[in-house]
Structure 1
């Protein structure tokens, strides 16, 4: 009885020890894995909080970024206008033997040319302000819609200031008008028609739409970076 007791107790101890050790090993491994996962989730949550805090702090309209966006829109409009004007001149003169004949063709197709010109003007303005809004949104990082609107506001304000200076000082100081930095729309009292008013309103809306879309596109780049950092 005494000899059996130690053997039984020893067998129980020897058999139980590895089992407990294995259980402890697995248990500790699971705990380590769970701890690692919790740490990763904590890091992701911390980074998300940083992004939210940065947006709260640096969000809103960035007028400096919007100004550079307006400069980009103006430069793009100048380049595109020159390209379309050169292409139009080449097409207009290509089928004519002389300048007088080309002028006659223009007079005969005035309505078609006006429609094509309005479409080209809308495309130029949309692309120009799309580029401007993109630059502003990319520079500002947050609030892409607001950056696009700010680019558009800069355009309106500068055009208004330039117009006031031109009226007060005369045409000699109308620098923006002399440079033809943007496609011109006839708004003089003698040329003011229903068509020109509609064209002006369309251009205003198209420029605003292009700037907003560009601002969203510029901001989206930073959201892709944030998702990559957060591991999503």
Structure 2
């Protein structure tokens, strides 16, 4: 029994390591072509789990709602900006984010559409200007053309509604923000008329705490319908305010 327990203890780090690389990034000619335009250099950003981690499922249950969680271990250098990229999507840059000091260390989650088996990667800019990358290979297909989950009447009636809930964990607040918006990709069809629905999505989002930036987002078509953002931040006095704008010029502001 003692020998078995000892072997189990020895194997635990190896099991954790194996789980960590279950779906690592794979070689990607698409990324090789995109790299210069997205990050401004042909040099590959290093993968450093001591600075940045990304978790996403090996096989997605729903290609239109793939959860992506980006985290940092304690003591990691602050992330000031981040590009979230889905190599195989029609518009590979899902979103570009900036982060305020209260978001360090980063613990941020969002849901994206994945259109074909693809690498999903985050390229972060650290406080010293250097870049670091993390990612996973996700098996999913059809996410960008998946039908909307609600009728057009319901979409229009609830568009722009927001909900925010908050909890505490290890001295930080965990905020969850949900925004009602179809985030039409331009590749979906109306299930009644069978006509293509024009692209219409939240393009810019700014979340602040007492007027100070928590995070901002400039997004494309790959952020999911009814987007949900889960994020950890250091609490301060004052309200959480949200400002959202979509591609049709609609603007929503909410304070929590």
Shorter-normalised TM-score: what interval?
A: under 0.3
Q: Say which one has the larger Rg.
A: 1
* Structure number with higher helix proportion: 1
Please, what TM-score do these two structures have when normalized by structure 2? 0.21
* Structure number with higher strand proportion: 2
User: Which structure has the higher relative contact order (CA within 8 Å, separation 6+)?
Assistant: 1
Please, what TM-score do these two structures have when normalized by structure 1? 0.23
